[in-house]
Structure 1
Amino acid sequence: MKRVLTAALAATAMLLSGCGGGSGAEEPAVAGSAYPVTVGSATLTERPDRIVSLAPTATEMLFAIGAGPQVVAVDDQSTYPAEAPRTKLSGFKPNAEAIAAQNPDLVVISDDLDKIIEQLGALKIPVLFAPAAKVLDDSYRQLDQLGTLTGHRAESAALAERMRTQIDKIVKAVPPRATALSYYYEIDQTLYSATSKTFIGSIFALFGLTNVADPADPDGSKNGYPQLSQEALVAANPDLIFLADSKCCGQSPATVKARKGWSSIAAVEQNRIVALDDDIASRWGPRIVDLVQSVADAVAKVPA
C-alpha cells in the first residue's frame, strides 16, 4: 500500500538524516546571496536558473521564497503550488539520467535513495540534501539553505519569521488545560501513526497533547512510525482523532464512525474526528502554519 510505503520512507528519511535534532545538512557557509555559496555538499558559483526539486516540501519552499521562476522541473508528488512544473520524475525512484536531461544547475532531494547523490555527483550536478524535518527549526533552517543557494536569502528569512510569529500567536490563543487531551494521528487506515518523537508529534506537543501512539514505539526502534493494533487504540481511548489519510485513502469522520468496535472511543462518541489535508500534514514547509491552525481549532472546540 502506498501509504504504508510512505510511512516506511518517512522512517528511512529519519535514519538518513542522522542522529540528533538537526536537519543533517551543514549550515550555509556564507551570509547574503553573494556567490560562490556552499550549503552542505552543494557549492554554486552563480545563481541557479535550472532547479529540479524531487521533494514536495522543497518545491513549496522554493516557490514561497520567490525562486519559483528558477524551477524547471519537480517530482510527480509535488502538487503544490499549481504552477509548479510537475513531471514524471520520482523522488521515490530517482533516475539520474532523467534528472540530468533537465540540465539542472541544482537538484534538491529529501532522500538519498539508490545513492542518487553519488550518481548526480558523478555527473557534476550540485545536490542539496534536505531531509525530512524533525522539529520546526529544521524547516526554518531549510528555508535559509534554499534562500542562500537560490539568491533569496532575505525572502527566506522574512518567511521564516512570519511563520514563527503566526505559529506563536496561534498556540498562545488556545487556553491551557488542567488535564491534557490525548490524540491519535492516523497516517493510513491500517493504523500506522506517528509518535511524539516525529515532526508531527512536535507540532501536537505545542498544545500539550498526549500521543496514544507513543507506547507502541517506546525505544524508537520503529523510528517514530509504529503500526497500532485496534485493541490498543480502543483501550487508549483518545480524546481526538486526526486523519492524515482523507485524500489518499478516502477516510473521513463517517468512515471512522463506521469502523467496528470504535464507537466507544471518546473522540468518536463526541464527534472529535478531524480530517486533515494529507499534503499539508506531510509537507513541512510554509503551510505548517495551516496545520498548526487545524490542530488549534480542534483543541479549542473541546470543553475544558
Structure 2
Amino acid sequence: MSQFHLKGFLTSLTMVAGLATVSAQAESQSRIVTVGGAATEIVFALGAGDQVVAVDLSSTYPAEVHELPSVGYIRNISPEGVLSMRPDLVVTTESLGPPAAKKMLKQMSVPIIWCPEPNTVEALETGLREVGAKLGESARAETIINEVKASIAETQATSENWAKRPTVVFFLAPPSASGAGRAGGKGTRSSELIHLAGGKNAVDDFENFQPMSIESLIQVNPDVIFVGVSDSHGASPQSVEAMKKLPGLAGVTAVRTGAVYGVPMDDLSFGPRLGEAVNRWHAHLAESAK
C-alpha cells in the first residue's frame, strides 16, 4: 500500500472511530422518563439513573428522584406531560392509567418499554430483562435477578421451620376513631408480599383494597398488622401509633402482642429491592410465628 493510500486509510479509521465515540456519547446522554416505582428503580439499578430526566409521583427511590420533575401519578398520567420532557425512551409498567392515556402512549412514536404489572417475582424478572436488553445491561440485570431470588429463597427456607404461618392484615391507611381503614385483599401486592415473607393474608375473601372497619378487624383478629408508611402517599407513623391506642382494638392479637408495624410504602414497588422488603416483613412475622 502506498504512503498516500495508507495515510487516507488511517484518516478514514480515525473518522470512523470519532463517529463511534460521538454515537456512544449520544447513546449515554439519552433522555429517559420513568413512570412507576418499579420502573424507576429498575433503571437506576441498571446504572442509567443519570439519564432519567423525569419521574412520576409513585417513584420515591432512590433519593435523587426527588430532585427531578414530575409527570404526575402513574394511575392518572397525562401523555402530554410525558412528551413535554422530550424523552428518547419511556420506561413504565402496565399499571399506567387511565386507559385512554395508556392507549395514546402506545400509539406514540417514542420508544416505550412496558414492564409487566409489578406484583410478582416473575414480573420483576421480566421487567429487568427487558430494560436491561434495551440499555445494554443484560448481564447486570441477570445479576440482580439472581440476587433477589437467592435472598427470597433463603428467607422462605427459614419460614418453613415456623410452627404456624401468622395471619396478617396490611393497611394502606389504618382505621381510626373517625372511620375505616383500607386493607389489601386478594390479588394485591401486599398480599403477595405477605405470602413471600411466610405469612397468610387474613383478608383474602375480597380483592384489591377495600374499606375495613374496626369491627371487621376485631372479627378477623390477625396475628400481625402492617401499615404502609410514607411521607408522600402513605400513612404517618403518628397514625399507626394512634391506631394502636384505639380502645376497641385492645383485644386484637396483633395489638395485644405489639405486632403492629409501620413498613415503607415503597416495599410494594416490587422493584430490585424486593428481596430486602421480603426480608423486612419476614423478620416482623418471625416474632409471631414462635
TM (norm. structure 1) is: 0.75
Which stretches of structure 1, 4 residues or longer, exceed 6 Å deviation after superposition?
Answer: none
Contact 1:79–1:86 (CA under 8 A) maintained in structure 2: no
Give the counterpart of 2:56 among 70, 75, 91: 75
Based on CA coordinates, which of the two structures has the bigger radius of gyration?
Answer: 2
Aligned counterpart, 2:283:
297
1:4-15 equivalent positions in 2, closer than 5 A: none
Selected match of 2:30 from 29, 49, 66: 49
Residues 263, 95 of structure 1: alpha-carbon distance in 2 compared, 3 angstrom cutoff: same
Partner in structure 2 of residue 188 of structure 1: 173
SS in 2 for 1:187: strand
Which AA in structure 2 matches 1:272?
A: A
Corresponding residue of 2:86: 103
Conserved 8 A contact 1:143-1:156: yes
Displacement of 1:62 after TM fit?
0.5
In structure 2, what is the Cα distance between the partners aligned to 1:302 and 1:117? Answer: 43
* CA-CA distance at 1:152 after TM superposition: 1.3
Note if 1:262 corresponds to 2:244. no
- Residues 177 and 184 of structure 1, relative CA distance in 2, 3 Å threshold: same
Task: Using the aligned pairs only, state the percent identity.
Answer: 25
Q: Is the 1:195–1:225 contact (alpha carbons within 8 Å) kept by the matching residues of 2? A: yes
Aligned partner letter, 1:301: E
After superposition, the C-alpha distances for 1:172-213 in whole angstroms (9 at most, x for unaligned) are 234523333211111112422223433322222234422221
- 2:185 aligned with 1:201, yes or no? no
Counterparts of 1:29-48 in structure 2, within 5 Å, are: none
Residue type of the alignment partner of 1:235: Q
Counterpart code for 1:192: R
2:46 and 2:140 in contact (8 A); partners too: yes
Letter in 1 for 2:241: A
The answer to whether the Cα contact below 8 Å between 2:28 and 2:51 also exists between their aligned partners in 1 is: no
The 2-side partners of 1:261 and 1:74 are apart by 42
Distance 1:209 1:196 in 2: 13
Structure 1 or 2: larger helix share?
A: 2
Q: Which amino acid letter does the alignment assign opposite residue 104 of structure 1? A: P
Letter in 1 for 2:31: R
Greater strand proportion: 2
Q: After superposition, what is the alpha-carbon deviation per residue over 1:155-177, rounded to whole angstroms, capped at 9, x for unaligned?
A: 11111111111121122234523
Letter of the structure 1 residue corresponding to residue 251 of structure 2: S
Q: Give secondary structure in 1 for the equivalent of 2:271.
A: coil
- The answer on whether the counterparts of 2:125 and 2:145 sit within 8 Å (CA) in structure 1 is yes
Amino acid at match of 1:146: V
- Conservation of the 8 A alpha-carbon contact between 1:242 and 1:273: yes
Q: What pairs with 1:126-205 in structure 2 (closer than 5 Å)? A: 126-174=111-159, 176-189=161-174, 190-205=180-195
- Whether the aligned pair in 2 keeps the contact of 1:246 and 1:275 (CA below 8 Å) is no
Alpha-carbon deviations, 1:79-119, whole Å to 9, x = none?
Answer: 21122352131134323233222221211233142523443
Instruction: Please provide the CA RMSD for this pair.
Output: 2.3
**Partner-residue secondary structure (3-state), 1:103:** coil
Residue type matched to 1:155 in 2? R
Cα 1:302–1:72 change in 2 (3 A) is same
The one of 84, 89, 93 aligned to 2:71:
89
Consecutive unaligned residues of structure 2, counting only runs of 5 or more, are 1-26, 175-179
Aligned letter for 2:77?
P
Q: 1:298 Cα deviation (Å)? A: 1.0
TM (norm. structure 2) is: 0.78
Q: Secondary structure at the match of 2:183?
A: coil
Aligned counterpart, 1:60: 41
Name the SS for the 1:254 alignment partner.
helix
The residue that corresponds to 2:21 in the other structure is: none
The corresponding residue for 2:269 is 283
Stretches of structure 1 that go unaligned for 5 or more consecutive residues are: 1-45, 218-222
Alignment of 1:209-224 (within 5 A): 209-215=199-205, 217=206, 223-224=207-208
CA distance in 1 between partners of 2:285 and 2:194 (Å): 10
| Letter in structure 2 aligned against 1:49 | S
Q: Deviations over 1:102-155 (max 9, x none)?
A: 221211233142523443355411222224323211111111111112221111
